[in-house]
């Protein structure tokens, strides 16, 4: 797509509006789930990690199936269905104050919110051809929602307790579902129509297919896709720490749930602003090198947290992370989307999310085990340092093979 051709805002607005609510549910869970698990359920550090990680169980194993459904039926119908289920489950969490029940809710909610986020990303690929400008705008709206969402959910949790916090969380998710009503009905091509006719004939149309997984994993032979997948996994060394023990650490040093929400909101606010700079930056710096640099910022910004106890310094550190997060996501989306055909947009987004959620599941458990062994403060440094080392290895590979990216 030529960057000189501007899509109608009738096409853009529903995508951005849905992203505002759907694209930050995971960040909002960073505020309430660790606090709910550690304080209300009195779970151990390791079990907190397990509870947080359980949100990623189905996304790791079923995201590719979700991506295939999105390619088959289009984002609108999928987001409407799963958004309703996920929102109602979220509201129900505090009404079953047991570790096993929380894990079960986490599993269901994780699949719903992840598939819907894939749906928004696939709409960028199919409607907007993966153009960095539009990917940046979508992420900016998602991060803008991520600025307000964590702040408001933190205040709701602090003011009204777990019941109020999870009620707000569920209603926020349902707003994203309502926004999907305005998405185009036929985002994907004729395959969506075929899928809709098939589902009326047989439930087999919505069941997982081995061929979908095979076709999706074959995309890894493309250098651009391989880069994005590797970068996605390394990015999670920072995101996994934030999702699990960032709030726990801040609570330990005396900060409230409301302030934790403010910090996460600041990070997302900075992300929203930085995402809007992607167009000018990619005209000056190769997108693959910019991606690696921004992932490094995101990891370091969270790994240094225990070095500071003053609010201003904590805000600066999380802002550095916000800059990295605001740019690395649209870069990954754009690089991957431009590497594949239109009818594979849902699958390539799902492939990235599969590795994203695998890292999200793995890192909290590792973080919890390391924290119990050497203390929570040292766990920040060890996990973050490992992520930086892996990123250095990826940089060497990119440097050796960058001619393939330049030709692409």
Tokens representing 398 are 């990119």
CB 59 within 8 A of CB 114: yes
What was the pLDDT predicted at 278?
84
What distance in Å separates the CA atoms of residue 257 and residue 248, rounded to the nearest whole number?
10
What was the pLDDT predicted at 150?
83
What was the pLDDT predicted at 3?
47
Q: What is the CA radius of gyration of the chain?
A: 20
Is 1 a residue whose pLDDT tops 80?
Answer: no
Burial of 402 per CB tally in 10 Å (0-12, 13-18, 19+):
middle
Q: How many CA atoms lie within 13 A of 219 on its CB side?
A: 29
What distance in Å separates the CA atoms of residue 212 and residue 355, rounded to the nearest whole number?
16
Tokens representing 300 are 């370091």
What was the pLDDT predicted at 407?
53
Burial call 172-203: b when 16+ CB within 10 Å, e when fewer = bbbbbbebbeebbeebbeebbeebbeebeeee
**Which of 3.40.50.150, 1.10.10.10, 2.60.120.200, 1.20.1250.20 would CATH assign to domain 10-184+219-407?**
1.20.1250.20
CB 214 within 8 A of CB 124: no
86/4: higher pLDDT = 86
User: How many residues are listed for the chain in this entry?
Assistant: 408
CB 329 within 8 A of CB 228: no
pLDDT band at 247 (very low <50, low <70, confident <90, very high): confident
What distance in Å separates the CA atoms of residue 16 and residue 39, rounded to the nearest whole number?
35
What was the pLDDT predicted at 49?
82
pLDDT digits over 112-141, tens only? 998 898 888 888 877 777 677 788 888 889
What was the pLDDT predicted at 190?
45
What was the pLDDT predicted at 276?
85
> Chain-wide mean pLDDT for the chain?
84
pLDDT digits over 194-209, tens only? 545 555 545 556 666 7
Calculate what percentage of the chain has a pLDDT beyond 90. Answer: 30
pLDDT digits over 158-192, tens only? 899 999 999 999 999 999 888 888 877 754 444 44
Is 193 a residue whose pLDDT tops 80?
Answer: no
Calculate what percentage of the chain has a pLDDT beyond 70. Answer: 91
What was the pLDDT predicted at 87?
94
Residue 327 vs residues 23, 333, 342, 377: alpha-carbon distances, Å? 15, 10, 23, 28
Q: Is 208 helix (H, G, I), strand (E, B) or coil?
A: coil
pLDDT digits over 352-389, tens only? 888 887 887 788 888 888 998 999 999 999 999 999 99
Mean pLDDT, residues 2-22 taken together = 78
CB 393 within 8 A of CB 291: no
Q: How many CA atoms lie within 13 A of 317 on its CB side?
A: 19
What was the pLDDT predicted at 208?
67
What was the pLDDT predicted at 4?
52
Q: How many CA atoms lie within 13 A of 214 on its CB side?
A: 3
pLDDT band at 215 (very low <50, low <70, confident <90, very high): confident
Residue 207 vs residues 71, 120, 343, 366: alpha-carbon distances, Å? 14, 21, 19, 33
Contacts of 320 (CB under 8 A, 6+ apart): 297, 300, 301
Other C-beta atoms closer than 10 Å to the C-beta of 403 total: 9
What was the pLDDT predicted at 5?
67
Is the pTM higher than 0.75? Answer: no
Other C-beta atoms closer than 10 Å to the C-beta of 299 total: 27
Least confident of 160-174, 243-257, 290-304: 243-257
Contacts of 5 (CB under 8 A, 6+ apart): none
Is 2 a residue whose pLDDT tops 50?
Answer: no
CB 327 within 8 A of CB 275: yes
Of 170, 23, 178, the C-alpha closest to 93 is: 170
């Amino acid at each position: 797509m030529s960057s000189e051709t501007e899509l109608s805002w009738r096409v853009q607005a529903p995508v951005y509006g849905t992203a505002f609510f759907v694209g930050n549910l995971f960040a909002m869970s960073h505020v309430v789930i660790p606090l709910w698990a550690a304080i209300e359920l009195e779970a151990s550090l390791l079990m907190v990690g397990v509870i947080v990680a359980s949100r990623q169980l189905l996304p790791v194993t079923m995201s590719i199936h979700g991506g295939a459904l999105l390619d088959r039926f289009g984002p609108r119908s999928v987001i409407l269905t799963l958004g309703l289920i996920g929102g109602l489950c979220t509201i129900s969490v505090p009404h079953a104050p047991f570790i096993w029940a929380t894990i079960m809710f986490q599993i269901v909610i994780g699949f719903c919110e992840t598939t819907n986020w894939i749906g928004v990303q696939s709409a960028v690929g199919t409607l907007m051809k993966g153009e960095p400008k539009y990917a940046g705008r979508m992420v900016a709206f998602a991060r803008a929602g991520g600025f307000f969402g964590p702040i408001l959910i933190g205040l709701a949790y602090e003011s009204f307790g777990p019941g109020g916090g999870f009620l707000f969380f569920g209603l926020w998710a349902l707003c994203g579902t309502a926004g999907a009503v305005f998405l185009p009905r036929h985002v994907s091509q004729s395959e969506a129509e075929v899928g809709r006719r098939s589902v009326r004939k047989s439930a087999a149309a919505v069941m997982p297919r081995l061929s979908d997984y095979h076709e999706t994993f074959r995309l890894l032979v493309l250098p651009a896709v391989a880069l994005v997948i590797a970068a996605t996994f390394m990015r999670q060394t920072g995101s996994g720490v934030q999702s699990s023990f960032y709030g726990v650490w801040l609570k330990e040093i005396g900060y409230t749930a409301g302030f934790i929400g403010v910090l996460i909101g600041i990070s997302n606010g900075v992300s929203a602003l930085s995402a809007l700079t992607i167009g000018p930056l990619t005209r000056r710096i190769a997108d693959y090198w910019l991606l690696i640099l921004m992932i490094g910022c995101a990891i370091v910004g969270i790994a240094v947290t225990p070095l500071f106890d003053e609010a201003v310094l904590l805000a600066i550190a999380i802002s550095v992370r916000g800059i990295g997060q605001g740019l690395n996501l649209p870069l990954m989306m754009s690089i991957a989307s431009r590497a594949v055909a239109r009818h594979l947009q849902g699958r390539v987004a799902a492939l990235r999310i599969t590795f994203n959620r695998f890292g999200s599941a793995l890192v909290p458990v590792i973080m919890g085990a390391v924290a119990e062994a050497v203390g929570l403060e040292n766990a920040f440094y060890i996990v973050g340092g490992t992520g930086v080392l892996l990123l250095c290895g990826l940089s060497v590979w990119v440097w050796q093979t960058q001619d393939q990216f330049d030709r692409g």
